[in-house]
Amino acid sequence: MRHLLSTGDLSRDEATLILDTAAELAQVGDRSVKKLPTLRGRTVVNLFYEDSTRTRTSFELAAKRLSADVINFSAKGSSVSKGESLKDTALTLQAMGADGVVIRHSASGAAHRLANWVDGSVLNAGDGTHEHPTQALLDAFTMRSRLGRLDGLRVAVVGDILHSRVARSNVLLLTTLGAHVTLVAPPTLLPVSVHTWTCEVSYDLDAVLPKSDVVMMLRVQAERMHESFFPTTREYSRNYGLDGERLSRMPEDAIVMHPGPMVRGMEISAEVADSPRCTVTEQVANGVSLRMAVLYLLLSGS
């Protein structure tokens, strides 16, 4: 592994190695000294062209816990706002000797392009509506630690699949790890090519819920919507929102996940969001361990 661009590039063994490594590194968060010397003297650049709190802080914390030097580069307040191209920014970072570049960009494929321009490792932290590999990995990690296995697990991914990079990365990764994924969304919020994905598709949330071990709710990404995809938010919420009543019809040990940020009252009710079966905060905590694992595996060897 040199880069982490897509979960589709990971073999089952590689994905399992990442999850196992993350499980070991999770202990570091409970120690008195929450730091390992492993990446001392290495430089990690966080290159964020899109707003993000969770992912950027998570990567920053992960890199710092491994003693790497971290440089945060956001589009606002850098030469990017003066019109510099991605390639020139990449060459600048290259010249500064970045060992790893974490990139978030609104254009799908930006991380792939970057990987051709720099010598260091490139970690895709979300490119447009394409992929978000570390999110999918931390989701899989959370499922495995909550439910004890991934093989044969039935996972429903519900909501705005069309604009979701989390959905695509999850389908690719979970299929590799032996889980069965069902996408649930109104037809307007599914990508045209969804029949080529390795998963099932349903328009009926109530039919899928009782047969799911994991229900992953996605946010409706209004900022990427330039036309109307459903009549009203109320109708969307009634058909595809998860409330306490729907939660009670899920299997007893099934869990509810959400990559964040949640919009309470839209795709998830406050009652469900605050229930112990909802793993949102756990996902955030696991995100740090998982990103430490990825940084370790990509940057530490020769």
Catalytically annotated residue among 7, 55, 89, 182: 55
CB nearer to other proteins: give 20 or 88.
20
CB nearer to other proteins: give 263 or 297.
297
Left (φ > 0), alpha (ψ -120 to 50) or beta: where does 142 sit? alpha
- In angstroms, the CA 251 to CA 118 distance is 47
Judge whether 82 counts as a catalytic residue: yes
Judge whether 55 counts as a catalytic residue: yes
Catalytically annotated residue among 16, 21, 38, 54: 54
Judge whether 188 counts as a catalytic residue: no
- In angstroms, the CA 234 to CA 142 distance is 30
The least CB distance from residue 243 to other proteins, in Å, is 41
The least CB distance from residue 52 to other proteins, in Å, is 27
Q: Can you tell me which residue has the tokens 């991380």?
A: 111
Q: Which amino acid is at 68?
A: A
Catalytically annotated residue among 31, 53, 76, 82: 82
Can you read off the two tokens belonging to residue 300? Answer: 């530490």
Q: Which residues make up the interface to other proteins (CB under 8 A)?
A: 17, 20-21, 24-25, 27, 31-33, 35-38, 66, 296-297, 300-302
- In angstroms, the CA 64 to CA 1 distance is 21
CB nearer to other proteins: give 57 or 67.
67
The least CB distance from residue 18 to other proteins, in Å, is 11
The least CB distance from residue 291 to other proteins, in Å, is 15
Judge whether 226 counts as a catalytic residue: no
Can you read off the two tokens belonging to residue 56? Answer: 């950027």
**Which has the closest alpha carbon to 190: 231, 232, 160, 233?**
160
Torsion of CA 18, 167, 217, 224, to 10 degrees: 130
Q: Any idea which residues carry the catalytic annotation? A: 54-55, 82, 104, 132
